[in-house]
Structure 1
């Protein structure tokens, strides 16, 4: 077992602060903001702002708990490592493989989405081509060096930032000039956030909670900053900086963007089936608005697939070193990249191309599997909190020495746990997401059997 341990020390810290900052931003801005915000607005009305604020608030504290744990011992390369060390090998096994599975599922969904976005411009493109090119290009760049992954995420995230800032500036100008919306015949006004029929909660508390399912998925990947921390320069400085800015990002990228949309077009006039971003840029006379937003959501899907490729490879690498995955996945290539683990994950992404050729309601199936994925992420976040609670109990000296303590400590962890459990309950309120919840025990059953036969008998 000596060889993998030697390689384990060679993970290279080549990600700079700007890479980690943009990876953090990219993780906090999902494609759901661009394409799914119309649906969340129609469900919750102006209260959708509080939906994103509430989820962002609790996820910030979960990321703070993760940050303190990662910096308590730089031998921890990800949350799988500290789950394994603090909660036991079973916890590390379940967390690592669940996180890998979640990103593989999202990656397959991204491949299908990328194909659809490319077909917007090139309707006759063979179904297999965009996804295959995407997987090939990102795999090649990820295999070369971690810094190339950082550069790709930097530019993908930058495109999303420019689009959102552009939307906020355009919307602000339209409100300031009392622009009359030709679709509604109404002038832009801040009062639409509270003065329309029904007020801030037009569909009641039920509508407010209905938006949670879509909004949660928009935040999936926010913990990617922790996976990347093992390969960043000066983690004591860069990781806290990336996590501490999450609240500002939530306010700018979600609250301001959604608020601006609803001041220019009243919430009850927003089309749930169309991107509000396209509508906003169309209003000021940009004829290629649809193409611009298609470019943005394409870059968002590429960013998600790229982040998934990075994180799944690192998860398998960490699992290998805790003896929870084949030893092969613990090897690095000459560039310090876990190549076998990366290529194994890429092979599963190819299934996304196969699904494009299947008959039947694929999108219905993907609603189910992405629900399973979202529940998997919630499970990972719960395990981060449980790890922190036990860490405070068994390592009080490390907490005392910590330069990055979690605000609120253990009581705040319990508040976050209560919020996540309540969020799981919300998944039972919709037929499609309930189906996903009912399938989830199958995955954990497979993991339980695998852990017993492949891991427990070795120890």
Structure 2
């Protein structure tokens, strides 16, 4: 029998994944910050404001608490066993091989379709400055550059993501500081009407009722998608036991500042009635203040946010696809690492599929991409639910003495995790009431059926990929 190389191993131990721990604390911190800031805030908030008014602030606050519960649950799992497979690996351990299979492929799909949409969006933002450039050319150029960067090294990925996140953070902080200046000093064109009373002067804090506020929760949750990305970096963090808890613990002030703080300032400077669906509230605020370069600045920031999302998608899809391949649940060639210890084959396949989005954009109407992002939202909710369920199972295991306790324990008892799960279920129900996003509830069952069928085929053709010999620490799942 030929000697087995690492790339052929189908069930490596967590500390033998073959990656380089090249992501430092500075990069992990900024990836965590950037993961909570995206086009959902810069663009999607305009639609949400028009639907709920100032009460959108409450929606972001409530959803932010739920996201923090989810991330602390993830932190508990990450310090117990930091692996690049992350969500899929935990689902595999605590819920069984099928749950791991579904979670791994669903999270991969989430970032692939997000990458499709974001490369196209980036091309649209380029047309703001140069309408003559064909969108497919811009999208292709961005895709190739990010693909090459992800192949070179994980450190380069981290550095690019650091600076992308820096741009987004700087823009929001700048908006907040200028807004505070307008409110306190009264300068700019908005100085005469800017007031904190705008939060309740136009029809009250709930101008369209509490029901309308609740309906915005699905839009708000889409804005938070990607915050869990820090979990995928676990296998390549220099010191995951320290950097990951630190990054997760900063989440409350990030939500308070970048989401709630920014919205409070914007809605104080500009009455909510002046915001339009599909128009960035940041652009509207800059225009109201009479800052001529405001639209160009925000367009650059939104372009950065789109590229950041695509860069993150390239990274996470490569790691998740390789994790599936290592367990025989994807083609074996996808396990290959290049000389820089990056999953080159898995990244290449994911990038090619993201590139198909460029072709689809050329052939299909823009509405198709709205449907794609709606599907991505449901995929993200599935991932968050798996994190919570796995943490509940893990908590029961270590309190029962079957597994070692984490070094970063989530606060409180399991009640918070159960409440967060109930909240996610509510969001899914709300999606069913929204005509624009309801399509995702039709598409996801088709995806689920595809996974069930493919898993049954896998069980028949490669049973070792499904019923592989478990690690010692997996025995708790089977009651041993």
Fold shared per TM-score above 0.5 = yes
Count of aligned pairs between the two proteins:
454
Query: Counterpart in 2 of 1:90?
Result: 98
**Range with greater deviation from structure 2 (143-152 or 410-419):** 410-419
Which position in structure 1 is the counterpart of 2:236? 231
- 2:187 and 2:441 mapped to 1: Cα distance? 45
Structure 2 SS opposite 1:290 = helix
The alpha-carbon deviation at position 289 of structure 1 amounts to 1.4
2:68 alignment counterpart: 60
**Match runs of 1:270-349 below 5 Å:** 270-349=275-354
Deviation of residue 400 (structure 1)? 6.1
Question: Matched residue of 2:446: which SS?
Answer: helix
| Superposed CA RMSD | 1.8
In the alignment, the residues of structure 1 paired with residue 334 and residue 171 of structure 2 have an alpha-carbon distance, to the nearest angstrom, of 38
Assess if the C-alpha contact under 8 Å between 2:80 and 2:404 holds in 1. Answer: no
Write the deviation string for residues 112-158 of structure 1: whole angstroms up to 9, x where unpaired.
Answer: 10110111111111232111111111111110100000000000000
Change (3 A) 1:312 1:75: closer
CA gap of 1:180–1:17, structure 2 versus 1, over 3 A, is closer
CA shift for structure 1 position 8: 4.7
Supply the distance in 1 between the matched residues of 2:412 and 2:214 (Cα, whole angstroms): 26
The normalised TM-score by structure 2 is 0.91
After superposition, the Cα gap between the structure-2 partners of 1:399 and 1:54, relative to the gap in structure 1 and judged at 3 Å, is farther
Deviations 1:156-211 (A, max 9, x none): 000000100011001101111245756xx9521111112332x1111112210232
Q: What does the per-residue CA deviation read over 1:364-396, in whole Å, with 9 as the maximum and x for residues that have no partner?
A: 222222111101110111111111111122333
Sort the Cα spacing of 1:337 and 1:398 in 2 relative to 1 into closer, same or farther, 3 A: farther
Going from structure 1 to structure 2, the CA distance change for 1:455 and 1:295 (only over 3 Å counts) comes to: farther
Q: Which residue of 1 aligns with 2:250?
A: 245
User: Unmatched 5+ residue regions in structure 1?
Assistant: none
Conserved in 2, the CA contact under 8 Å of 1:317 and 1:329? yes
In structure 2, C-alpha distance between the alignment counterparts of 1:295 and 1:148, rounded to whole Å: 22
1:61-140 to 2 correspondences below 5 Å: 61-75=69-83, 77-140=85-148
Match of 1:379 in 2: 382
Contact 2:31 2:162 in 1 (8 A): yes
1: CA distance, partners of 2:218 / 2:348: 32
C-alpha displacement of 1:276: 1.9
Are 2:28 and 1:25 equivalent residues in the alignment? no
Structure 2: tracts of 5 or more residues without a match:
464-480
With over 3 angstroms needed to count, the CA separation of the structure-2 counterparts of 1:188 and 1:399, relative to structure 1, is farther
Does residue 191 in structure 1 map to residue 197 in structure 2? yes
**Which residue of structure 2 aligns with residue 433 of structure 1?**
437
Q: Give secondary structure in 1 for the equivalent of 2:238.
A: coil
Counterparts of 1:85 and 1:400, CA distance in 2:
14
Structure 1 window deviating more from structure 2 (256-265 vs 316-325): it is 316-325
* Structure 1 residues 367 and 20, CA gap change in structure 2 (3 angstroms): same
Question: Is 1:419 aligned to 2:427, yes or no?
Answer: no
CA deviation map 1:187-246 (0-9, x unaligned): 21111112332x111111221023222211111101000001211111111000111111
Cα distance in structure 2, aligned partners of 1:273 and 1:251: 24
Residue 72 of structure 1 contacts residue 398 of structure 1 at CA under 8 Å; is this kept in 2?
no
Q: State yes or no: 1:264 paired with 2:272.
A: no
Q: Name the SS for the 1:233 alignment partner.
A: coil
Does the 8 A contact of 1:38 with 1:273 survive in 2? yes
- Please tell me whether the aligned partners of residues 64 and 406 of structure 1 are also in contact (alpha carbons under 8 angstroms): yes
Q: Do residues 402 (structure 1) and 410 (structure 2) align?
A: no
* Superposed displacement of residue 408, structure 1: 2.2
Aligned partners of 1:450, 1:189: CA distance in 2, in Å?
58
Q: 1:366 and 2:369 equivalent?
A: yes
> Structure 1 stretches (4+) deviating beyond 6 angstroms?
none
Would you say the 8 A contact 2:85–2:320 is kept in 1?
A: no
TM-score in terms of structure 1 length: 0.95
Q: Distance in 1 between matches of 2:412 and 2:459?
A: 36
Cα deviation digits, residues 279-306 of structure 1 (max 9, x gap): 3233444322111111100000000000
1:214 and 2:200 equivalent? no
